[in-house]
Amino acid sequence: MRKVILLLLLFCVAFPITFSAQPLPIEVFDVTQGKVIKSIPLDEKNKAEALKLVKSTDSLFPKLNPTPKTGFMIKVIFDPAEDVETKVFKQPVKQVIFIFPDAEKPYILIFNEKDQPMFYYFSEDFAPFLEMLGID
């Protein structure tokens, strides 16, 4: 019995099993095509840029149907959730979807830790974020 335990310990030391949590990618969804067209790894730089946009939310999105007919959407998941405080809300943010409809002002869909969806306009310049992700 001791030999089995010793061999098991030796095996675990010689061949360690490593688990690394890979961050979920940023996904770009083309509304017209109806599919994800690009997947970008979430790193600290593009995460910070996404959070800058989230923190610039300044008013509620007023339309009843928030789904655009054309344009694209960018999904970013924060794991763990990020605490965000703006002039319109204060709560942890778990996931955001930036919505860029053609010929309309972009807006954002925010999910809190309870997965409640909330739509807002944001005021920060989004061009650096799109450029960072390689989106025209």
Burial 13-48 (b: 16+ CB within 10 A, else e): eeeeeeeeeeeeebbbbebeeeeeeeebebeeebee
Quote the pLDDT of residue 6.
34
The pLDDT of residue 11 is above 50: no
Supply the range of the domain harboring residue 52: 23-133
Structural domain includes residue 11: no
Q: According to the model, what pLDDT value does residue 21 have?
A: 56
3-state DSSP assignment of residue 53? helix
- Tokens 């007919």 identify what position? 69
Arithmetic mean of pLDDT over the chain: 84
Query: Per the structure, how many domains does the chain have?
Result: 1
Residue 44 located in a structural domain: yes
Summarize pLDDT for 59-111 with one digit per residue, the tens.
999 888 888 999 999 999 998 999 999 989 899 999 999 999 998 999 999 99
The Cβ of residue 66 has, within 10 Å, a number of other Cβ atoms equal to 14
Does a structural domain hold residue 72? yes
**Res 1: pLDDT:** 44
Pairing outcome for strands 117-122 and 57-60:
antiparallel
